[in-house]
């Protein structure tokens, strides 16, 4: 175990965020037609696919006859003489996000392009849409409040099925994630301890969600449930009042005071920014999807099993992250339980963006260099 302060090294939004019977599945693959100019210039060629899992059993006891799991890949897997995949990398998104967010110029352009640290010509990049998110099965597809009450263990099992059954990958060089994906990274390290060489949890705490974080999540969910228009999930029109309240709380949780002051230094600009943000988010938010996504964190708590983690771990948080404020001093204490664990606290700078720093590898990739070197076999 080692605790690392960011300034000790010279090198270096999305916003947030055991199956008991046999599973039969199929995958349908197609090339992505949503590449950005930066992706095309970088020579990236994302491929998207849907993997259909039959009779998926959720932790709450419910079963879905068909569960759709969507994913995006870059590059191709490579195997050693024993058939073991040596170059696969899994990145997992935050609450309300999708795997496609990692194709942004700020992420893919920094990590996955030719000559970059995780060059897609050398690595096989796997980007999942979690249960309840993106193009994977979610409440807004039609089941609404009858959708199974999935949790993080269900989501991680879904990610594992994509990796193993859909893509036939039997080993991961690196598992990493942002916000919710950060928490999933801890779950992966405990649930599949021999499956990966290294883990990169970005912007989370390896304990039960509690304190202000839990309070705001509870208030956010209550805002939706207490809107009469929600109608127990059977609304015909989005419960806008409840969603507005939820989005306002979420903004408080994930915003970056220095960033907002810099971009909106006057009352007029601040009002305009707030209005534009609310309009943008209302257009893409479904109340049930949001409610389920935040409720899925209800039983997350990797802390009791941290000592069982075998892989090399580099946990990274930012000092201006209000979701995981450094004054709680939680990660420095918990990382001591991890045999090969290190913690980096990025200092506030003009490059950090609060919680959203997790999606800016230009700020933290030097520590990924160190993690890959230390975990090489």
Written out in words, the top-level CATH class of the domain with range 2-207+307-375 is alpha beta
Phi-psi region of 158 (alpha: psi -120 to 50; beta: other; left: phi over 0): alpha
Does residue 1 have a pLDDT over 60? no
Q: What is the pLDDT of residue 35?
A: 56
The fraction of the chain above a pLDDT of 90, given in percent, is 85
Q: What is the pLDDT of residue 8?
A: 33
Task: Fill in the DSSP letter of residue 376.
Answer: -
Spatial distance between the Cα atoms of 147 and 90, rounded to a whole number of angstroms: 26
Per domain, the residue ranges of the chain are 2-207+307-375, 211-295
Cα–Cα distance list, 11 to 8, 184, 347, 368 (Å)? 9, 28, 15, 11
Does residue 239 have a pLDDT over 50? yes
Other beta carbons less than 10 A from residue 232's beta carbon: 8
Q: What is the pLDDT of residue 43?
A: 63
Q: What is the pLDDT of residue 377?
A: 73
Choosing among 1.10.1740.110, 3.40.190.10, 3.10.450.50, 1.10.3720.10, the CATH entry for 211-295 is: 1.10.1740.110
Spatial distance between the Cα atoms of 195 and 84, rounded to a whole number of angstroms: 11
Q: What is the pLDDT of residue 305?
A: 97
Among 182, 175, 173, 188, smallest CA distance to 202 is for 182
Average pLDDT over residues 254-283: 94
Parallel, antiparallel or unpaired: strands 24-31 and 47-57: antiparallel
Spatial distance between the Cα atoms of 343 and 326, rounded to a whole number of angstroms: 12
**Token pair for residue 280?**
């943008």
> Is this structure's pTM higher than 0.85?
yes
Does residue 13 have a pLDDT over 80? no
Average pLDDT over residues 111-129: 97
Phi, then psi, of 41 in degrees rounded to 5: -65, -35
Residue pair 39/33 in contact by the 8 Å Cβ criterion: no
Does residue 114 have a pLDDT over 70? yes
Mean per-residue pLDDT over the chain, rounded: 90
Among 138, 171, 143, smallest CA distance to 293 is for 138
Spatial distance between the Cα atoms of 4 and 315, rounded to a whole number of angstroms: 10
Q: What is the pLDDT of residue 169?
A: 98
3-state secondary structure 307-357: HHCCCEEEEEEECCCCCCCHHHCHHHHHHHHCCCEEEEEECCCCCCECEHH
The 10s digit of each residue's pLDDT in 124-174 is 999 999 999 999 999 999 999 999 999 999 999 999 999 999 999 999 999
């Amino acid at each position: 175990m080692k605790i690392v302060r960011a300034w000790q090294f010279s090198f270096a939004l999305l916003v947030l965020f055991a199956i008991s019977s046999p599973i039969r599945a199929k995958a349908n693959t197609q090339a992505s037609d949503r590449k950005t100019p930066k992706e095309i210039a970088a020579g990236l060629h994302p491929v998207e696919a849907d993997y259909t899992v039959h009779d998926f059993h959720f932790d709450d006891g419910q079963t879905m006859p068909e569960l759709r799991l969507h994913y995006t890949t870059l590059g191709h897997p490579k195997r050693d003489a024993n058939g073991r995949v040596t170059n696969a990398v899994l990145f997992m998104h935050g609450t309300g996000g999708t795997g496609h967010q990692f194709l942004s110029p700020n992420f893919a352009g920094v990590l996955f392009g030719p000559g970059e640290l995780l060059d897609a010509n050398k690595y096989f990049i796997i980007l999942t849409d979690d249960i309840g998110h993106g193009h994977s099965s979610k409440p807004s597809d039609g089941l609404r409040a009858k959708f199974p009450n999935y949790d993080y263990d269900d989501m991680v099992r879904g990610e594992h099925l994509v990796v193993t059954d859909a893509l036939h990958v039997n080993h991961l060089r690196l598992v990493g994630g942002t916000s919710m994906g950060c928490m999933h990274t801890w779950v992966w390290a405990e649930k599949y301890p021999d499956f990966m060489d290294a883990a990169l949890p970005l912007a989370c705490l390896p304990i039960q969600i509690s304190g202000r974080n839990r309070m705001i999540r509870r208030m956010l969910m209550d805002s939706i449930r207490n809107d009469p228009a929600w109608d127990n999930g059977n609304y015909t029109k989005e419960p806008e009042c409840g969603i507005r309240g939820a989005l306002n709380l979420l903004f408080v949780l994930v915003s970056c005071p220095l960033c907002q002051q810099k971009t909106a230094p006057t009352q007029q600009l601040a009002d305009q920014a707030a209005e534009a943000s609310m309009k943008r988010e209302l257009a893409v938010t479904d109340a049930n999807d949001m409610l389920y996504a935040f409720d899925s964190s209800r039983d997350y708590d990797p802390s009791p099993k941290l000592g069982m983690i075998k892989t090399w771990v580099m946990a990274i948080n930012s000092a201006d992250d209000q979701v995981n404020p450094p004054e709680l001093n939680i990660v420095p204490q918990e990382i001591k339980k991890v045999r090969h664990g290190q913690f980096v606290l990025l200092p506030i700078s003009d490059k950090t963006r609060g919680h959203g720093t997790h999606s800016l590898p230009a700020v933290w990739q030097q520590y990924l260099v160190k993690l890959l070197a230390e975990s090489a076999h």
